[in-house]
Amino acid sequence: MSLRPVHWSKTGRDWLATSFASRVAFLALSLTLGVALGVGALSYAALRVQIEASIRQDLEAQTRLVEERLHFALDEAGEELETLSRNALIVNGLVDSQGRDAYLLPFLRDFRLALPGKQDIALTLHDFSGAPVIDAGQGIAIAADVVGQALASGMPQARIVAHQGEAYLELVQPVHFPPTRSIEGALTALIRMVPLLGSAGTDLSEGLHLHLRAGERTLARTGAAQEQDIHVERTLRLGAPFDALGLRLTLASPAQRVQGPLNRLTLIHVAGIFILLPLVGWFAYRGARRLVAPLERLGATVEHIAGSGAIMAPPPIEGPDEVGRLADAFGRMLERLHTAHEELEQRVRERTEALGENRAFLADLIEHSGSLIFVKDREGRYELINRKWETVTGLGRDEVLGRTDLELFPPPIGETFRANDLRVLAADQAEEVEEILNDATGMRYFLSVKFPLRTADGEVRGLCGMTTEVTERKRAELLTTCGQHVLEMIVGGHDLKEVLERLMRDVEAMTPDMLASILLLDADGVHVRHGAAPSLPDAYNRAIDGAAIGPGAGSCGTAAWHKEQVIVTDIETDPLWVDYRELALAHGLRASWSTPIVSPTGVVLGTFGTKTYAFIGLERVGGVMVYDVSTPTAPSFVTYLNSRAGKEPGELEFRAVLPDGRIRVINGRGTLECAADGRPIRMVGTAQDITEHRQAEGQLRKLAQAVEQSPESIVITNLEAEIEYVNEAFVRATGYSREEAIGQNPRILHSGKTPRETHQALWEAISHGQPWKGEFINQRKDGSEYVEFAFITPSASRMGASATMSL
Amino acid sequence: MFPTRLASWLVLSLGLLIVPGAGAGMEKKPVHVGLDAELEYAGSTSAQAIRMGMLIAMEEINRAGGVLGGRPLKLIERDNRSLPARSLVNLKELAAQPDLVAVFCGRFSPTVLEAIPLIHELKLPLLDPWAAADAIVDNGHMPNYVFRLSLKDSWAMPVMLSHAQKQGAKRVGLLLLNTSWGRSNLKAAQAHVAAHPEIRVVGTQWFNWADKSLLSQYQALRQAGAQAVAFVANHDEAARLVRGMAALPKEERLPIVSHWGVSGGDFFQDAGPALHELDFAVAQTYSFIGASDARAKQVLAAASRMFGVKDARALPSPVGVAHAYDLIHVLARAVDKAGGTERRAVRDALEQVSGYDGLVRRYLRPFTPERHEALGPENVFMARYAPDGAIVRIADR
């Protein structure tokens, strides 16, 4: 029938867990108990310290009292003994030993020091050797050495001696013998210690332990002190000669004297706790119950809401406290929740409509985009294409959707597309690829951005691409590349045939299935000469060479004649190609596109890529100048081809007047190529605009002159501190000739008297590229000294590789 | 000091001169005589007087060929400061000295009394030129090693009391030093009063060595009805009494009859002019003043020669000089009679010496086995301090 403890503790935990009031009451009880115990422990400790201190103080006062009384008593005894030693009767006694029994012995026997317990004092008179003359010592042994010390020193001596288990103070006073003014004896007083100490206050109040020691000897002891008792020890200061006794007094108070009050305090404290705890528990529980009552009502409301699903405000809670505010706030929250719920539903409806609109917009955007847009699944089957895609490829939606590139495009193109798709899928990120489509209009270049498409759970399900046609831009790039090649070749001194061949190859590269040729118009302006046609058969070229231009003279001849572009779509049928049809057809040519290269002002202009060049013939000097005229307002000189110089490379410097009137200085170098009969064919070389160079040379010359003629010494060194240049003033100032100075270190000027700090500061500045100025004490070649103010600056050479220092 | 040194030097020189002339066979080994006295005692002249008498006599003897056929007498001194304890130590040292035949003591009876048992233990002859206590000689020892050539208390007190009586005093007060010497005098006084009913002792007062003042005791005697005071004291206490009495009204100053202890020191100087305002008589046994015999002149001449003493009036403690002088002559005769330095023989010989015409008196036999006192009551007289400090005999009326 008995309940097990575990059962109780479980019940207690449940009780705590289910009721906030229980927890508050429990907490209050714990806190109260903790504080009460803490305060109790602290007061216990504090009281203990206080009681101990007070007892200690008490003991110290007692030891002081004992010391003072003992001091007083012994002082009295000492003084009295000294007075007695001066007594005429005592002096008499030293001389008159016959009278000792008659009067001195009774005198000494009856004499009493002014001490407590007078009957316990025994006096003895000693002669100069320490032997007792008159012994009233009642048979107590006197320490002879103490008497000896007193006689030898003339000073009183004290010693503790024992007789029959009792301690005596032996006090020896030397006797001064007036007639001879010497110490001729000593007076010894033996004083029983017990009454002396008793009167000095060692009969202490009950319960105290006393221990008086002289050195290691115990003189008085009451009770036996325990280890835990409170001890006070004092070395008694009693003045000479009593300090020599080394009296130490220990007083101890039994520990029970501390324990009594402490036990009473503990009892009161425990009783207080037993009364306090039930009160605190009851009040705390009642208070907490009252506190959580609103919460319980709130709980009921919430329970109702949870059950019904209808959000409703709880009844208002009375009271301005936290719980009241919490309930009110909860009510407001419920209201706000209700409003927010309705707003949310409204917004969901609006969003649903907007989403539908967006989807239509997006579809339109894709459909009408200027780029080709498509979506494929992982196997490359088209899922979506837009109109542009249809337009560019010419394939309809019905035939495309559900099919792959391999099915739609010829093998090389379809395979390339598929390969690009797979790479994007593998990389799992957007990529930009260039793709080429070859159709009836020729090579078409596209730039496609392809990126993987993901399902909602992040899995790649296909890819999307946006493709823009870049054919025009691609062509322009190719033309630019081509023009650069031609220019490089011209400047590099290649001959015209090579240049033209390269040009033709570049043009062919731009347009596959097209063969290119260039014909040069002869000087007569009627016949054309073979320029370059690297892909055309030699037989064809030979047939053309020397043909005359004119209307109907082939497409090139007609273009040159009319100075306009001629396009022949079918050589087989076109009348322009009557003369060369067989030849052209025999070599597989079917269509032609001819354009003349002409200048309206007689200057031949050539367009290479984005740049246009002007070729200006210079009749008088027999050369051709080439200008870049891409920017109409500022033509720049490119090269000059000279045909007049001999076979050896020639050099010519001349002034050229530019179309805008500016004058430039040109330096041309070139080699003339001549035919077998000596007729010059062409000139290969370079032309350089050296206008700025010439101007710079002029300035440098002026600067050099200024430096050379400066009245200040100027030195230029390289980074290895070797002198590279000195001016005339330096030669005059130092006595070193220019030949002696150059290649030397400026150290040759050092006198050794310039402070070391000056050189350190100089190199610190120079190594950081900063100018420096300061004073040197230097030495001439003949050894004489002079003071020089120096300004030193680092400078960069034209090469920028070595810095120099000018001094 | 110079004359003393010079004198010693002269003695030595004369000795050297005379010894060869005295003949061959003369032993050079000295015969020692000891002196154990209060040499260092402040203000005391007694020991110095005794030494002077000894040296003068020894010089005479040595000049005359010494003792034992040519051996010189030589003095060995020890200071006892009047303290028995020191005296005992000194006597033991002196007894250990070879060829020492006898020891002279000093003025203080208590010191000598304390040494009596040791003297007999050591069998050392003790010659007393001053200390007056009866018990020194009457010590009960047989054989007795103590020989006195001096005053004896039992002779002095009757003379003192008789003198007071002659001055008209019937009631006498006794003022005594609280020592065995004082008690010895009390016995003597009581013995005299018992035999002479015409004089009465009205009171006895004791004082101690080094007492600061004796006036209260003196006044107690005066108030007891004393008409004169018999005074037994040493020089320092006596000077204190005199100075104290001088401050009293004249009618309170009683005549003083004093034992001779006062003459053992600088009493005259210490007492000062107050002494002349009192009737102060002192017992004596000998005075050089007025002595006309050849021996007295010879001694005075030697004192002047050896110690620079001007004349008889300037000689301090004259009794000490006279007694010591005579004792040395007696001792020399005894040594010669003993034929050696063996002390028992010398002691026995001292009792056999006869026919010495001395300074103080003519001695038929100074000592006999029954009598160890060389002087007698007939030698005692009263004297007074002259204004120059000389002790002058009071003429019998």
Model confidence over B153-170: pLDDT tens digits? 999 999 999 999 998 999
Q: Is the dihedral of CA A692, A695, A699, A700 positive or negative?
A: positive
Separation in Å, CA of A167 to nearest CA in chain B = 31
Q: What is the pLDDT of residue A318?
A: 63
Scanning every residue of chain A, which has its alpha carbon at the shortest distance from the alpha carbon of B85?
A127
Which DSSP string corresponds to A641-674? EE-SS-SS-EEEEEEEE-TTS-EEEEEEEEEEEE
**B262, pLDDT greater than 80:** yes
Residue B81 touches chain A, beta carbons under 8 Å: yes
Q: Mean pLDDT highest for which of A447-461, A472-486, A776-790, B245-259?
A: B245-259
Scanning every residue of chain B, which has its alpha carbon at the shortest distance from the alpha carbon of A89?
B208
A73-82, A105-114, A423-432: lowest mean pLDDT where? A105-114
With b for 16 or more beta-carbon neighbours within 10 A and e for fewer, the A641-667 pattern comes to: bbbebeeeebebeeebeeeeeeeebbb
> What CATH number has the domain spanning A709-806?
3.30.450.20
**A1, pLDDT greater than 70:** no
**B150, pLDDT greater than 60:** yes
Tell me whether strands A723-726 and A715-717 are parallel, antiparallel or unpaired.
Answer: antiparallel
Scanning every residue of chain A, which has its alpha carbon at the shortest distance from the alpha carbon of B212?
A88
Superfamily of domain B154-284: Response regulator (3.40.50.2300)
Residue A106 touches chain B, beta carbons under 8 Å: no
Query: For A433, left (φ over 0), alpha (ψ -120 to 50), or beta?
Result: beta
Separation in Å, CA of A252 to nearest CA in chain B = 51
Q: Give mean pLDDT, residues B249-256.
A: 92
Among B89, B181, B102, residue whose Cα is nearest residue B145? B102
CA-to-CA distance for B146 and B130, rounded, in angstroms?
12
Q: What is the pLDDT of residue B224?
A: 95
pLDDT in tens, A448-474: 888 888 887 888 888 888 888 877 777
CA-to-CA distance for A233 and A60, rounded, in angstroms?
8
**B1, pLDDT greater than 60:** no
User: Regarding predicted confidence, which is higher, A436 or B218?
Assistant: B218
Among B23, B21, B60, residue whose Cα is nearest residue B299? B60
Q: What residue spans define the domains of chain B? A: 2-151+289-376, 154-284
Residue B34 has which token pair? 């000891």
Question: Which residues on A lie below 8 Å from B212 (Cβ)?
Answer: 88
Q: Give mean pLDDT, residues A779-790.
A: 82
Question: Which residues on B lie below 8 Å from A183 (Cβ)?
Answer: none
3-state DSSP call for residue A476?
helix
- Range A649-658, long-range pairs (CB < 8 A, 24+ positions): A649/A685, A650/A685, A652/A621, A653/A690, A654/A621, A656/A625
pLDDT band at B71 (very low <50, low <70, confident <90, very high): very high
Residue A699 touches chain B, beta carbons under 8 Å: no
Residue A377 has which token pair? 């699944």
pLDDT band at A644 (very low <50, low <70, confident <90, very high): very low
Q: What is the pLDDT of residue A662?
A: 66
If contacts are CB pairs under 8 Å, which of residues 311-370 in chain B contact chain A?
A: none
Angle at A209 between CA A203 and CA A211, to 5 degrees: 80
**A297, pLDDT greater than 80:** no
The per-residue pLDDT of chain B, averaged, comes to 90
Q: Mean pLDDT highest for which of A344-358, A533-547, B248-262?
A: B248-262
Chain A to chain B, count of Cβ pairs less than 8 Å apart?
Answer: 86
Question: Which residues on B lie below 8 Å from A131 (Cβ)?
Answer: 85
User: Regarding predicted confidence, which is higher, A487 or A309?
Assistant: A309
A254-263, A353-362, A672-681, B3-12: lowest mean pLDDT where? B3-12
Residues A654/A691, Cβ–Cβ less than 8 Å: no
**A600, pLDDT greater than 70:** no
Q: How many CB atoms lie within 10 A of CB B393?
A: 14
With b for 16 or more beta-carbon neighbours within 10 A and e for fewer, the A105-115 pattern comes to: bebbeebebeb
pLDDT band at A185 (very low <50, low <70, confident <90, very high): very high
3-state DSSP call for residue A424?
helix
Query: So what CATH class is B2-151+289-376?
Result: alpha beta
Q: How many CB atoms lie within 10 A of CB B250?
A: 8
Q: What is the pLDDT of residue B14?
A: 40
**Alpha helix (H) ranges present in A105-184?**
105-110, 144-153
CA-to-CA distance for A445 and A535, rounded, in angstroms?
24
CA-to-CA distance for A409 and A417, rounded, in angstroms?
9
Q: What is the pLDDT of residue A731?
A: 84
Q: Is the dihedral of CA A505, A508, A514, A517 positive or negative?
A: negative
**A623, pLDDT greater than 70:** no
pLDDT band at B201 (very low <50, low <70, confident <90, very high): very high
If contacts are CB pairs under 8 Å, which of residues 163-222 in chain A contact chain B?
A: 177-182, 184-185
CB-based contact A95 B41, cutoff 8 Å: no
How many residues does the structure list for chain A? 807
If contacts are CB pairs under 8 Å, which of residues 216-275 in chain B contact chain A?
A: 236
Q: C-alpha distances in angstroms, A627 versus A212, A263, A598, A634, A659?
A: 131, 122, 16, 10, 11
Phi, psi values for residue B89, rounded to 5°: -65, -45
Residue A563: CB partners within 8 Å, gap ≥ 6?
A: A596, A598
Look at the block and give the residue holding tokens 């007892």: A55
Scanning every residue of chain A, which has its alpha carbon at the shortest distance from the alpha carbon of B206?
A89
Q: What is the pLDDT of residue A288?
A: 84
pLDDT band at A581 (very low <50, low <70, confident <90, very high): confident
Note whether B2-151+289-376 and B154-284 share their fold: yes
Q: Give mean pLDDT, residues A522-532.
A: 68
Separation in Å, CA of B356 to nearest CA in chain A = 35
Residue A133 touches chain B, beta carbons under 8 Å: yes
pLDDT in tens, A111-142: 777 766 555 678 889 999 888 888 876 777 78
Q: What is the pLDDT of residue A806?
A: 35
Which DSSP string corresponds to A175-212? EEETTTTEEEEEEEEEEEHHHHHIIIIISPPTT-EEEE
Tell me whether strands B126-128 and B146-148 are parallel, antiparallel or unpaired.
Answer: parallel
CA-to-CA distance for A366 and A375, rounded, in angstroms?
11
Choose which CATH entry (3.40.1450.10, 3.90.400.10, 3.30.1490.20, 3.30.450.20) describes domain A368-469: 3.30.450.20
- Range B190-196, long-range pairs (CB < 8 A, 24+ positions): B191/B154, B191/B157, B192/B157, B192/B158, B192/B161, B193/B161, B196/B161, B196/B165
If contacts are CB pairs under 8 Å, which of residues 26-65 in chain B contact chain A?
A: 38, 40-44
Among A678, A617, A683, residue whose Cα is nearest residue A650? A683
Look at the block and give the residue holding tokens 């230029």: A716
pLDDT in tens, A760-772: 887 788 777 777 7
Give the one of A95, A102, A103 whose C-beta lies nearest to B83's C-beta. A95
pLDDT in tens, A130-184: 888 888 767 777 888 899 999 999 999 998 888 888 888 889 999 988 888 889 9
Q: Give mean pLDDT, residues A416-442.
A: 81
CA-to-CA distance for B237 and B244, rounded, in angstroms?
11
The per-residue pLDDT of chain A, averaged, comes to 76
A79-88, A433-442, B266-275, B340-349: lowest mean pLDDT where? A433-442
**A807, pLDDT greater than 50:** no
Tell me whether strands B73-79 and B31-37 are parallel, antiparallel or unpaired.
Answer: parallel
Separation in Å, CA of B123 to nearest CA in chain A = 21
Residue B90 touches chain A, beta carbons under 8 Å: no
User: Regarding predicted confidence, which is higher, A232 or A484?
Assistant: A232
| SS3 readout for A621-643 | CCEEEEEECCCCCCCEEEEEEEC
pLDDT band at A800 (very low <50, low <70, confident <90, very high): very low
Note whether A368-469 and A709-806 share their fold: yes
pLDDT band at A628 (very low <50, low <70, confident <90, very high): low
Reported ipTM: 0.82
Q: Is A279 exposed, middle or buried, given 0-12, 13-18 or 19+ CB atoms closer than 10 A?
A: exposed
| SS3 readout for B226-241 | CCEEEEECCHHHHHHH
Give the one of B89, B111, B210 whose C-beta lies nearest to A91's C-beta. B210
Q: Give mean pLDDT, residues A632-644.
A: 52
Q: Give mean pLDDT, residues A407-427.
A: 84
Q: For residue A44, which amino acid is it?
A: Y
User: Regarding predicted confidence, which is higher, B73 or B27?
Assistant: B73
pLDDT in tens, B280-334: 999 999 999 988 899 999 999 999 999 999 989 999 899 999 999 999 999 999 9
Q: What residue spans define the domains of chain A? A: 87-253, 368-469, 599-706, 709-806
pLDDT band at A745 (very low <50, low <70, confident <90, very high): confident
DSSP symbol at A711:
S
CA-to-CA distance for B205 and B172, rounded, in angstroms?
12
pLDDT in tens, A187-244: 998 888 877 777 776 666 667 788 888 888 888 777 777 777 888 888 888 888 888 8
Q: What is the pLDDT of residue A2?
A: 47
Question: Hey, which residues does B311 pair with through a beta bridge?
Answer: none
Rg (CA), chain B: 21
Angle at B243 between CA B272 and CA A90, to 5 degrees: 115
Q: C-alpha distances in angstroms, A562 versus A556, A566, A584, A594, B59?
A: 10, 9, 22, 11, 193
Q: What is the pLDDT of residue A684?
A: 56
DSSP symbol at B290:
T
> What CATH number has the domain spanning A87-253?
3.30.450
Question: Which residues on A lie below 8 Å from B208 (Cβ)?
Answer: 87-89, 91-92
pLDDT in tens, A682-729: 555 566 677 777 777 777 777 777 777 777 777 877 777 788 888 888
Number of H-type helices and E-type strands within chain B: 13, 14
Instruction: Say how many Å lie between the first and final Cα of chain B, rounded.
Output: 42
Q: What percent of chain A has pLDDT over 90?
A: 5
Q: What is the pLDDT of residue B308?
A: 92
Which helix (H) or strand (E) covers residue B246, if one does? Answer: helix B235-246
Q: What is the pLDDT of residue A329?
A: 79
Give the one of B89, B110, B211 whose C-beta lies nearest to A88's C-beta. B211
CB-based contact B85 A94, cutoff 8 Å: yes
CA-to-CA distance for A93 and A84, rounded, in angstroms?
12
Residues B332/B350, Cβ–Cβ less than 8 Å: no
Give the one of A89, A94, A102 whose C-beta lies nearest to B83's C-beta. A94
**A619, pLDDT greater than 50:** no
CA-to-CA distance for B104 and A268, rounded, in angstroms?
96
